[in-house]
Structure 1
Amino acid sequence: MPDQDPIVRWNNNIHYHQVILDAIPESARTALDVGTGNGLLAADLHKCIPDVTGLDADADVLESARHEDGDVNWIVGDVLTYPFEPASFDVVASVATLHHLPDITQTLTHLADLVAPGGVLAVVGLARSTRPSDALYDLAGFLQQQRYKRRHGIWAHSAPIVWPPPHSYSEVRRAAVQALPGVQWRRLTMWRYALVWNKAVI
């Protein structure tokens, strides 16, 4: 019998976990997954970082996250109000969460404050298409998604959904440049963007 592909959980968010993982500094020992949802990113982070915290405001969805990895520190809370100490984490990561929060500049500034010197803030997010160039990414993303969907199907998460996103790609990029000097910005297909910011060592 020919080899078959292993069963894979796939959706647009899981597809871009590797963007986060590729940004991890070799020296990283602590990580925070903001808006962890079902906990898949936190579990992936824990494969290479010994101390990982997954934070989400939704207690019900966090229950499913606990089954992904019993050694992750799962916390119910709002990242803007939870009493983390500044510079607590070598990695602060987030996938598909920032569009749930009203003030993107405030959020990015706060997340940057949680990053330890020499650490990284890595975000994959959603935004709203408003420019002609966005339409090209949307079309490419649709075709790409259909290809992966035929191969793997789409794994449905149980986290709350906000659609359409409140911020445009242009607004997110401006906020990132303002809050995170030197940030690396990438427009991605499948209705996503990525930003990676490394905090200078003092």
Structure 2
Amino acid sequence: MAFDHNDHYHRLLLRHLPAHGRTALDVGCGTGRFARRLVARGYRVDALDPDPATLAAAEAMGGGPRYRLADASRADLPAAHYDVISCLASLHHMPFTTLTRLRAALAPGGRLLVLGCHAGVTAWDVAAVPANAVARLAVYGAERARGLPAAPPRAPVREPRMTLPEVREQAARLLPGSEVRQLLYWRYLLTYVAPKYPAAMAS
């Protein structure tokens, strides 16, 4: 069944975009679905992914992002450049300290949006089980009615290691002023707005 937990939160992430943003970086872009949504909003998008097969599938779909085979934890990123940096279900594939590299790439007033995966089980995770089943059945029914298309390739999957309290603790240390909000479907949303004056940024 094709219900995708990350795609489910695209609209939530889009609501956090700055009013006048123009440049974006999508980290761990996978097959590029969110990167293409940013392009549709008028952004010039750099989309990074370290998996060649997944990136090839993204490039085949076109849509406007500039795709690059790269690991954001090691890639050269322009300093103070991007109005938006998005990172959907990919931060747990990298050292959590990669957040500091992403912070440095944000333009003054730019926004970092991380849809992350956490380890462990919370009350919200228990509540997500029936909601997840209902959503999967709804998507399955809709696809059966239309005829099932071939599923796009999946990016490599890695289980998260950090619990939600650990995510909150490390985010507060690395990105003072950031917020971490728990979501259904074993996800959290980390948001951070860079200071408008670069000299005010924490070291």
Shorter-normalised TM range: 0.7 to 0.9
Residue in 1 that maps onto 2:82? 89
Shift of 1:66: 1.4
SS, match of residue 61 in structure 2: coil
Question: 1:19-98 to 2 correspondence within 5 Å?
Answer: 19-98=12-91
Residue in 2 that maps onto 1:6? none
> Could you list the per-position Cα deviations for residues 76-101 of structure 1 after superposition, in whole angstroms to 9, with x for gaps in the alignment?
00112211211121000011001111
Determine if the alignment matches structure 1 residue 152 to structure 2 residue 139: yes
Residue in 2 that maps onto 1:179? 174
Residue in 2 that maps onto 1:137? 124
AA aligned opposite 2:116: G
Percent of residue pairs bearing the same amino acid type: 33
Mapped partners of 1:110, 1:83: distance in 2: 9
TM-score, normalised to structure 2's length? 0.87
Determine if the alignment matches structure 1 residue 169 to structure 2 residue 143: no
Mapped partners of 2:171, 2:78: distance in 1: 22
SS, match of residue 141 in structure 1: helix
**Are the counterparts in 1 of residues 54 and 153 from structure 2 also a CA contact under 8 Å?**
no
**Are the counterparts in 2 of residues 117 and 201 from structure 1 also a CA contact under 8 Å?**
yes
Mapped partners of 2:102, 2:175: distance in 1: 10
Residue in 2 that maps onto 1:198? 193
> Could you list the per-position Cα deviations for residues 1-60 of structure 1 after superposition, in whole angstroms to 9, with x for gaps in the alignment?
xxxxxxxx6310100112221111011000000000111110111111330111000111
For residues 49 and 19 of structure 1, do their structure 2 counterparts lie closer, same or farther at Cα, with a shift above 3 Å needed?
same
> Could you list the per-position Cα deviations for residues 100-145 of structure 1 after superposition, in whole angstroms to 9, with x for gaps in the alignment?
11x31x1111111111001100000101015xxx1x1111111111
Mapped partners of 1:149, 1:74: distance in 2: 30
For residue 6 of structure 2, the aligned residue among 7, 10, 13 is: 13
Unmatched 5+ stretches in structure 2: 144-150, 198-203
SS, match of residue 52 in structure 1: strand
Mapped partners of 1:59, 1:124: distance in 2: 22
> Could you list the per-position Cα deviations for residues 136-176 of structure 1 after superposition, in whole angstroms to 9, with x for gaps in the alignment?
1111111111111111139675100012x111111111111
For residues 125 and 181 of structure 1, do their structure 2 counterparts lie closer, same or farther at Cα, with a shift above 3 Å needed?
same
TM-score, normalised to structure 1's length? 0.87
SS, match of residue 31 in structure 1: strand
AA aligned opposite 1:109: T
AA aligned opposite 2:125: D
**Are the counterparts in 1 of residues 39 and 63 from structure 2 also a CA contact under 8 Å?**
no
Unmatched 5+ stretches in structure 1: 1-8
**Are the counterparts in 2 of residues 37 and 61 from structure 1 also a CA contact under 8 Å?**
yes
Mapped partners of 2:53, 2:115: distance in 1: 23
